[in-house]
Structure 1
């Protein structure tokens, strides 16, 4: 599912991944994040997942930009971050917490 979305991201600069309707995120004191929606319960992100959530939101839903900003901050290979972030986003999309938006 996300592979097709990534192909669209490469072809169309305006394709974004955003929080699904009614989804909220709350930062926890231990560095994790609680992402929840009334209809589907909650999902707890690790500190790495929390950083990915914030980076995605700060970069207006553009996964490529979010991965690049995290790779810079973490001083690591951007492709590795993008791969991890793609898998993470795929899980949240499957759970109905993220969605593709134009």
Structure 2
């Protein structure tokens, strides 16, 4: 599965590693913020063009954890992003 950000998002990462996603098209603008782990997941997804499996493999290697665990965590986080309307799945 691939996931892509919905168009029009403003993305930022602060000095402490927190990801800040703003949906400016809504009134008031919606904001989604997460910590450094979520930031790492976002970056891994973007580095792998939204390929969840590839991003999970990279994170598992970086975090020295079982690939299945990294994938499960990433799948949960991606569902949160989908529920928030920030990403969409593509075949």
Q: What TM-score results when the alignment is normalised by the length of structure 2?
A: 0.90
| Deviation for aligned residue 1:21 | 1.3
Deviations 1:43-65 (A, max 9, x none): 00111000000000000000000
Q: What TM-score results when the alignment is normalised by the length of structure 1?
A: 0.81
Q: How many residues align?
A: 88
| Bigger fraction of residues in helix | 1
Distance 1:20 1:69 in 2: 23
Question: What pairs with 1:1-102 in structure 2 (closer than 5 Å)?
Answer: 9=1, 16-38=2-24, 39=26, 41-102=30-91
Give 5+ residue unaligned stretches, structure 2: none
Give 5+ residue unaligned stretches, structure 1: 1-8, 10-15
| Deviation for aligned residue 1:101 | 2.5
RMSD, matched Cα: 1.1
